[in-house]
């Protein structure tokens, strides 16, 4: 059974950064991810707020980070961690995956999140048939077609702009009377003349074989209106992946996110958490900063106590 000083669960921006920092500090480290490195970060069409890059896609940045990480630590992709248990010996945790079992002195949880669904009628039925949660993955197929983009945060507006650039006819639908996204993105939406429907929720997605229309509900009047569309792209937030944290007895807040201190420590000794699974701002640069803090904190804790 291979043994490590630090095992990082999740190879998103935070996990890869933690691996880089941990490796450079001379500890033996492993990053494990159930998918390809990057997670939903691979889906970001373009970023204009990551320091050092005026404009870069999530996939391109992930590949750069991955190349740097594997110089400093082991990386296992397509290997799901199914169980983490505490032990009483020097290697405090046993990490069981879909392929192997490992021991580690320290765990950093970088398990990320997944797309939140609308739970609208027809949403599951038309997934892959006009309903999508990834503009980068599916936008190409909708050039010249009508699309509803649901959401009001940064991701929704970024994807709406990306879809418009691909040649799709995009309309933004948001349940509130104003967007939550950065002003820069709102200005871009206005500049690109992307139509918006505010104070509206998607009640139903309709069609035969493929999506043909949506039923929108006015949140102020409860009036229902059917709007023809060829596709529904959904960006309404994320659900944190905290199953492994729950196994370990890690404390969560009322929204289901992991509670951490300024050193990224959880309430369980030698267990850290970073990125979208934690309480705090959901931004790529924040996850990277948290990865650096967690790896450095873990290094000092190991040096002091082992």
Q: Which tens digits make up the pLDDT trace of 155-208?
A: 899 999 999 999 999 999 999 999 999 999 999 999 999 999 999 999 999 999
Please report the pLDDT score of residue 138 as a whole number. Answer: 87
Domain identity same for 129 and 211: yes
Q: How many structural domains compose the chain?
A: 2
Residue 206, burial from CB neighbour count under 10 angstroms (0-12, 13-18, 19+): middle
Mean model confidence pLDDT for the chain: 94
Please report the pLDDT score of residue 260 as a whole number. Answer: 96
Domain identity same for 62 and 40: yes
Domain identity same for 128 and 216: yes
What pTM was computed for the model?
A: 0.81
Domain identity same for 202 and 122: yes
Catalytic residue among 35, 134, 146, 218: 134
User: Average pLDDT for residues 279-296, to the nearest whole number?
Assistant: 92
Q: Which domain holds residue 135?
A: 117-234
CATH number at residue 212: 3.50.50.60
Catalytic residue among 100, 137, 253, 261: 137
Domain identity same for 230 and 130: yes
Of the residues 212, 234, 256, the one at which a domain ends: 234
Catalytic residue among 5, 33, 74, 138: 138
pLDDT higher than 90, residue 289: yes
H/E stretch holding 202:
strand 200-207
Domain identity same for 210 and 279: no
d(CA 141, CA 134): 12
Does the annotation count 137 as an active-site position?
yes
The DSSP symbol for 230 reads S
Domain identity same for 143 and 217: yes
């Amino acid at each position: 059974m291979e043994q490590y000083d630090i095992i990082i669960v999740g190879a998103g921006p935070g996990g890869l950064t933690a691996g880089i920092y941990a490796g450079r500090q001379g500890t033996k480290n492993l990053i494990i991810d159930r998918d390809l490195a990057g997670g939903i970060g691979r889906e970001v069409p373009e970023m204009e707020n990551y320091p050092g890059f005026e404009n870069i896609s999530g996939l391109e940045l992930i590949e750069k980070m991955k190349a740097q990480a594997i110089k400093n630590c082991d990386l296992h992709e397509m290997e799901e961690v199914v169980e983490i248990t505490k032990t009483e010996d020097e290697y405090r945790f046993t990490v069981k995956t879909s392929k192997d079992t490992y021991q580690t002195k320290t765990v950093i949880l970088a398990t990320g999140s997944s797309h939140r669904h609308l739970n609208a009628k027809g949403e599951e039925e038309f997934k892959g048939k006009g309903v999508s949660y990834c503009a980068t993955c599916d936008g190409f197929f909708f050039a010249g077609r009508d699309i509803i983009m649901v959401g009001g945060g940064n991701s929704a507006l970024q994807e709406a702009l990306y879809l418009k650039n691909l040649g799709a006819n995009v309309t933004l639908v948001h349940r509130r009377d104003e967007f939550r996204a950065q002003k820069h993105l709102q200005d871009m939406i206005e500049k690109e003349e992307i139509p918006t429907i505010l104070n509206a929720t998607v009640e139903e997605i309709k069609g035969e074989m493929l999506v043909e229309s949506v039923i929108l509900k006015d949140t102020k009047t409860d009036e229902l209106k059917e709007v023809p569309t060829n596709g529904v792209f959904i960006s309404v937030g994320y659900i944190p992946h905290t199953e492994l944290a729950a196994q370990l007895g890690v404390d969560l807040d009322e929204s289901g996110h992991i509670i951490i201190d300024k050193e990224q420590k959880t309430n369980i000794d030698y267990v850290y958490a970073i990125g979208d699974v934690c309480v705090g701002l959901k931004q790529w640069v924040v996850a990277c900063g948290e990865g650096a803090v967690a790896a450095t904190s873990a290094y000092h804790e190991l040096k002091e106590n082992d």
